[in-house]
Amino acid sequence: MSMGGTASYETTDVVVPPLVRAAVSAATELDFPLCCRPEIGRLISVLAAGVPAGGRIGETGTGTGAGLAWMVSTARPDVKFVSIELDVDRTDAARQLFADRPSVTVITGDSATIGDHARSICSCSTGVLAAERGRIHPPIRSKCSDRAERSRLTTSSR
Ligand SMILES: C[S@@+](CC[C@H](N)C(=O)[O-])C[C@H]1O[C@@H](n2cnc3c(N)ncnc32)[C@H](O)[C@@H]1O
């Protein structure tokens, strides 16, 4: 949870990519205060940059797309993203943000159903996951909070 995350972009020293700025603006318009903080965004952008060509990254709890934007801004162009969010207005905002990026899919729904939309997806405590060609990075897989999901991932990563 990023309490005050949206507002923290007003004072941050972190260099923020334009796509992230747009996601944060959408959050401000929707009175959504929980964007990931810039420091976290920078961290997950480094992780995303390490996913090899053809990999997939999934996220649970899109918000208005700030975290997704951090990752999209650094990932290889052929890496695909799936993100799922319960709130319709936030989903719509994120969809608009990534409308010109076919590699990004934003779904309205419960994170528990993300496995219905994409294989080799692992949600973890930061809401981020990384997968590459059916293999989940072990340190990330081990952080899955949901036992059934972890078991499925272990199976699907063989
Ligand atoms: C901390 S905010 C996400 C911040 C966003 N990832 C970012 O980087 O700016 C958590 C989001 O998760 C969503 N959420 C909560 N429970 C959910 C669920 N079961 N399925 C999908 N989204 C959920 C909330 O509506 C909220 O938008």
Query: What are the boundaries of each domain within the chain?
Result: 5-156
Contact indicator for 97, 19 with CB cutoff of 8 Å = yes
Cα-flanking dihedrals φ and ψ of residue 153, to 5°? Answer: -65, -40
**What does the alpha-carbon distance between residue 153 and residue 31 come to, in Å, rounded to a whole number?**
35
pLDDT value of position 3: 78
| Helix, coil or strand: residue 62 | coil
The predicted-structure confidence for 102-150, as pLDDT tens digits, reads as follows 999 999 999 888 777 665 444 443 444 444 444 444 444 444 455 555 5
Ligand 1 neighbours by CB, cut-off 6 Å:
1-2, 34-36, 60-63, 66-67, 84-87, 90, 110-111, 127
Residue 72 pLDDT: 96
Q: What is the CATH number assigned to the segment(s) 5-156? A: 3.40.50.150
Angle at 98 between CA 35 and CA 150, to 5 degrees: 65
Q: What is the pTM of this model?
A: 0.81
